[in-house]
Amino acid sequence: MNYQQDGIYESHKSPQGHYDKRLIEKVVQEVENGLPRKEAVRIYGLGKNSLCSWMRQYGSEHYRQHLKRKSYTNLQKRTIVTAVEQGRMTLGEAQAAYGIRSGRTIRGWLLQHKSEKVEICIETTSPMAREKASPEDPGKAALQNALQQAELKIKALNTLIDVAEEQLKIDIRKKSGAKQS
pLDDT for position 170: 77
Q: Is the model's pLDDT at 122 over the cut of 50?
A: no
Within a domain: residue 94?
Answer: yes
Number of structural domains found in the chain: 3
64 and 75 both lie in a single domain: no
Confidence of residue 27 (pLDDT cuts 50, 70, 90): very high
- Give the confidence band of 165 by pLDDT, cuts at 50, 70, 90: confident
Which of the two residues, 121 and 104, has the higher pLDDT score? Answer: 104
Helix (H, G, I), strand (E, B) or coil at 147: helix
- Domain extent at residue 151: 120-172
Q: Is the same domain home to 1 and 64?
A: yes
Provide the pLDDT for residue 121: 44
Residues 5 and 26 grouped into a single domain: yes
178 located within any domain: no
Q: What is the pLDDT of residue 9?
A: 45
What mean pLDDT, rounded, does the chain reach?
76
Q: Are residues 23 and 51 in the same domain?
A: yes
Position 181 in a domain = no
| String of DSSP letters for 88-139 | SS-HHHHHHHHT-S-HHHHHHHHHHHHHHSPPPPPP---HHHHHHS-TT-HH
pLDDT of residue 178: 53
Dihedral sign for Cα atoms in the order 12, 18, 24, 28: positive
SS3 state at 43: helix
Q: Is residue 13 pLDDT above 70, yes or no?
A: no
Q: Clarify whether residues 56 and 18 are in a common domain.
A: yes
Q: Are residues 75 and 37 in the same domain?
A: no
Residue 64 lies in a domain: yes
